[in-house]
Amino acid sequence: MDPLRIGDYLREFSALVGRFGYRTSIYGHFGDGCVHARLDFDLKSRAGIAHWRGFLGEAAALVVKYGGSLSGEHGDGQAKAEFLPVMFGPELMQAFREFKAAWDPAGRMNPGKLIDARRADQDLRWGEDSKTITIASTLAFRSEIGDGFGRELERCIGMGKCRAEKGGTMCPSYRATREERYSTRGRARLLSEMLRGEVITDGWSSEPVKDALEWCLACKGCASDCPTHTDMAAYKAEFLSHYYETHLRPRQAHLMGRIGQWAPYASLVRDWRMSPPTGGSASRASRRSGRCRNSRHGLSARVSLPERWASGSCCSMTPSTTISARRPRPPRSACSKRRAARSSCRPRTSAAAAPTMTSACSARRAALSSASWRSSRATRRSWSSSPDASRCSARSSPSFSRATHAPRASPTGREASRNSCRNETSRRRWKAR
């Protein structure tokens, strides 16, 4: 209905529910004007069904009063089709009937659902004569809706959320098989039919029920994803406990069920695969295990590797086709080349000389920060004509060899400051300061 009128409708609907003596939980998409309600109807007695029909009539009239639709989010179906004339009127319903007769004169397509629909109290799942079957169970099924395994199976109301193909956890076996009997709803129906004994007459020894439950992974996704919290893992455990009272358990059940008894003895067993061989049989055992491992992975010592693998040419790919390939370096400038040449001919300093170099750098920073750029420039000009400048130029030349270079002592603070002024990059950095 109109979201602007949903507040008035909910107030009257709550009053209607209270007048009929029901309890409800209201939820839905109120912003879109869609309302869902779960009510505790009594559909197992004649008086309860008659009381329920009276409530349905007044609830349908209340929806039409506020301009709403009975169809709701999930269509009409037999539960609502009886009250469609209240919303559409007799004239429009007759037009629907003529349209259906033109396309389906024999009435074979979905009969008794919208046109000439059956009553809402016909074909009920329970009905007047239905009773909750009380049966002894291994697990204790207790809840606010009732106790016992038979009452627990009535949690499933057939909503069909377990048939969803994506989202959530429920139900992985249905998503793999796309069969109803392997869904949570299908298994709940099979268990209910087993308790009634009308269609499934084998009881706890029913093989179809066991086959449907064996595909259940017991992931308990239905216990959280299902709106009614149907716990199929607990139902499976209950069924198998009764089934194996008259049937032999499989071998793996005994093996894993008694793991606490045989596990201590397994630790005393010595296997040759777990302990390395000793003596002359060590080399034979290693060769035998190597042949086994190679045959398992498809390798053999008699087959040589391809030539391109041995030469490494298979790895010669372009940088765009492999991650490990190196990217080409950009061309270096003249300043970076001179800096690389100076770093290559610089002597390595020991750990004892490290404090001296550190103090020299600190002195250089202090001298540069205290002196002005003009005085530093004059110093640089006077130094360019000294023998040290020609010596450093020789180091920057390509013919310079580190093998013929004799290491010299660590530079002083003044000489270190002069050497740092060599390249253009350092000049720009100092000028920016």
pLDDT in tens, 173-208: 999 999 999 999 999 999 999 998 888 988 999 999
Structure confidence at residue 288 as a pLDDT band (50, 70, 90)? low
Q: Residue 335: helix, strand or coil by DSSP?
A: helix
Of residues 58 and 332, the one with the higher pLDDT is 58
DSSP string for residues in 169-214: SS-HHHHHH--GGGSHHHHHHHHHHHHHTSS--SGGG-HHHHHHHH
Work out the average pLDDT over 115-128. Answer: 83
Q: Are 56 and 33 in contact (CB under 8 A)?
A: no
pLDDT at residue 323 is higher than 50: no
Give the per-residue pLDDT at 92: 93
Work out the average pLDDT over 45-66. Answer: 92
In the chain, where does the domain assigned CATH 1.10.1060 lie? 142-246
Q: pLDDT digit string (tens) for 20-40?
A: 999 998 888 888 888 888 888
Of 342, 320, 364, 361, residue with least CA distance to 408:
342
Measured between alpha carbons, how far is 381 from 378 in angstroms, rounded to an integer? 5
Which tokens in the block code for residue 96? 């629907």
Element (H, E) at 298: none
Structure confidence at residue 368 as a pLDDT band (50, 70, 90)? low
Judged by average pLDDT, the poorest of 17-31, 77-91, 270-284 is: 270-284
Long-range contacts of 116-124 (CB under 8 A, 24+ apart): 117/78, 117/81, 117/82, 117/84, 118/78, 118/81, 118/82, 119/82, 120/53, 120/56, 120/78, 120/79, 120/80, 120/82, 120/83, 121/49, 121/52, 121/53, 122/78, 123/78, 124/43, 124/49
The residue whose two tokens read 């004169």 is: 105
Of residues 127 and 379, the one with the higher pLDDT is 127
Give the per-residue pLDDT at 134: 81
Q: Which CATH architecture has domain 3-103?
A: 2-Layer Sandwich (3.30)
Give the per-residue pLDDT at 135: 84
pLDDT at residue 302 is higher than 50: yes
Measured between alpha carbons, how far is 25 from 153 in angstroms, rounded to an integer? 21
Which tokens in the block code for residue 311? 């030469």
Q: Which CATH architecture has domain 142-246?
A: Orthogonal Bundle (1.10)
Give the per-residue pLDDT at 426: 63
pLDDT at residue 406 is higher than 50: no
Measured between alpha carbons, how far is 211 from 163 in angstroms, rounded to an integer? 19
The residue whose two tokens read 């449907």 is: 212
Structure confidence at residue 392 as a pLDDT band (50, 70, 90)? very low
Of residues 331 and 7, the one with the higher pLDDT is 7
Whether the ω angle into residue 34 lies within 30 degrees of 0, i.e. cis, is no
pLDDT at residue 240 is higher than 80: yes
Measured between alpha carbons, how far is 36 from 182 in angstroms, rounded to an integer? 28
Q: Are 218 and 236 in contact (CB under 8 A)?
A: yes
In the chain, where does the domain assigned CATH 3.30.70 lie? 3-103
Measured between alpha carbons, how far is 329 from 326 in angstroms, rounded to an integer? 9
Structure confidence at residue 432 as a pLDDT band (50, 70, 90)? low
Measured between alpha carbons, how far is 212 from 186 in angstroms, rounded to an integer? 8
